[in-house]
């Protein structure tokens, strides 16, 4: 993971084939469908370029979609406090789904003024069970705990993120009823292994933890994200769409890493980025060019052109 990235940095992992040489002007592959009412896009490795910027072309495409009456949801593994990179580009409702579905956040007001609209926490008992089961299955795993406002980690957990953790304690103490920030909900657990292959680690964790929690990954390293058993980008996006009377067939989704797979499968139309993980390519109904080639904007421009 790049040092200045959020937890969910999703650049192409080593060994993943690069995208086909699509021209950015070529129409993206994918099926037609009903007019879209909502666009759901991942951030790192998808909407954002590798330098963490939102290109002028993408900014214009997002604004044009909102002007056309299409809601835009940022759907990311990032915590709310790391959403400043897109806070200037929210329109209309200004809502984002953060923490892989663990929170819906109102981004109006900018960094430091984010308001939690919905929280889907990971119960501490389940979190402790997941930690225990994964310790047994993959000795050497190190943990960090992500809460609504706090971030804490084990002493051996490496410096993967820019921020300084609030507390250094074993995960069992961080998750105890009287642990640090005990009044705050736990959004997810981060589990890192220094030696295992990322996909192998994900498979082993899912097998060990079972239905006690949902396990996914978005980092090119062996860093897993553990949430409540029914919490995912897809399930929270489905809740938000149901509240608006929007059907899956009216949603267009974009992603590049395994934590996007469920969302891409749920949406009526979905696009894997040119830099996407193989599991994402298999799950999506279409493909676009890479994040550094403004693949999301390419699709949005085509969608809007088709409405004319």
In a domain, 1, yes or no: no
Domain edge (last residue) among 227, 260, 288: 227
The structure tokens listed for 88 are: 């200037």
- Per-residue confidence band for 8, with pLDDT thresholds at 50, 70 and 90: very low
Query: How confident is the model over 155-163, as a mean pLDDT?
Result: 87
- Per-residue confidence band for 76, with pLDDT thresholds at 50, 70 and 90: very high
Domain with 250 in it: what CATH number?
3.40.50.1000
* Judgement on whether residues 66 and 113 belong to the same structural domain of the protein: yes
* Judgement on whether residues 199 and 275 belong to the same structural domain of the protein: no
CA angle 95, 175, 166 (to 5 degrees): 70
In a domain, 202, yes or no: yes
Domain edge (last residue) among 191, 210, 227: 227
* Judgement on whether residues 275 and 215 belong to the same structural domain of the protein: no
Identify whether the C-beta of residue 288 lies closer than 8 Å to the C-beta of residue 28.
yes
Domain span at residue 237?
38-120+232-307
Task: Say what the pLDDT of residue 26 is.
Answer: 40
In a domain, 136, yes or no: yes
In a domain, 24, yes or no: no
* Judgement on whether residues 107 and 237 belong to the same structural domain of the protein: yes
Domain edge (last residue) among 201, 227, 253: 227
The count of structural domains within the chain is 2
* Judgement on whether residues 49 and 193 belong to the same structural domain of the protein: no
Give how far the C-alpha of residue 95 lies from the chain's centroid of Cα atoms, to the nearest Å. 14
pTM summary value: 0.87
Domain with 176 in it: what CATH number?
3.30.1240.10
Question: Highest mean pLDDT range out of 82-86, 97-101, 107-111?
Answer: 97-101
Task: Say what the pLDDT of residue 93 is.
Answer: 61
Reduced to 3 states (helix: H, G, I; strand: E, B; else coil), residue 235 is: helix
Nearest CA to 6 among 112, 86, 93? Answer: 86
In a domain, 299, yes or no: yes
Query: How confident is the model over 59-77, as a mean pLDDT?
Result: 94
* Judgement on whether residues 149 and 176 belong to the same structural domain of the protein: yes
Under DSSP, the state recorded for 163 is S
Lowest mean pLDDT, pick from 100-114, 148-162, 211-225, 244-258:
100-114
Scan for tokens 């890479």, then name that residue: 290
User: Which of 66 and 27 is assigned the larger pLDDT?
Assistant: 66
In a domain, 250, yes or no: yes
Nearest CA to 19 among 46, 57, 39? Answer: 46
Asked if residue 130 has pLDDT above 80, the reply is yes
User: Which of 27 and 98 is assigned the larger pLDDT?
Assistant: 98
């Amino acid at each position: 993971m790049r040092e200045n990235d959020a937890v969910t940095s999703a650049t192409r992992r080593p060994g993943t084939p690069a995208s086909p040489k699509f021209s950015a002007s070529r129409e993206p592959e994918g099926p037609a469908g009903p007019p879209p009412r909502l666009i759901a896009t991942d951030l790192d490795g998808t909407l954002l370029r590798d330098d963490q910027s939102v290109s002028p072309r993408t900014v214009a495409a997002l604004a044009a979609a909102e002007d056309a009456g299409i809601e835009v949801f940022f759907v990311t593994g990032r915590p709310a406090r790391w959403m400043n990179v897109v806070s200037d580009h929210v329109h209309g409702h200004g809502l984002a789904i953060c923490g892989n579905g663990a929170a819906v956040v109102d981004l109006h007001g900018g960094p430091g003024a984010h308001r939690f609209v919905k929280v889907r926490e990971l119960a501490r008992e389940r979190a402790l069970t997941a930690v225990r089961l994964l310790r047994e299955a993959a000795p050497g795993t190190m943990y960090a705990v992500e809460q609504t406002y706090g971030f804490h980690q084990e002493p051996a957990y490496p410096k993967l993120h820019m921020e300084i953790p609030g507390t250094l304690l074993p995960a069992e103490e961080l998750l105890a009823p009287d642990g640090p920030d005990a009044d705050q909900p736990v959004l997810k657990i981060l589990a890192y292994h220094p030696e295992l292959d990322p996909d192998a680690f994900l498979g082993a964790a899912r097998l060990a933890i079972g239905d006690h929690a949902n396990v996914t990954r978005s980092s090119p390293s062996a860093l897993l994200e553990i949430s409540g058993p029914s919490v995912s980008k897809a399930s929270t996006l489905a809740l938000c769409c149901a509240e608006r009377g929007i059907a899956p067939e009216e949603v267009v989704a974009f992603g590049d890493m395994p934590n996007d797979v469920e969302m891409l499968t749920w949406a009526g139309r979905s696009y894997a980025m040119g830099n996407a993980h193989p599991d994402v390519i298999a799950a999506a109904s279409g493909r676009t060019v890479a994040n550094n080639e403004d693949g999301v904007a390419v699709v949005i421009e085509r969608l809007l052109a088709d409405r004319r």
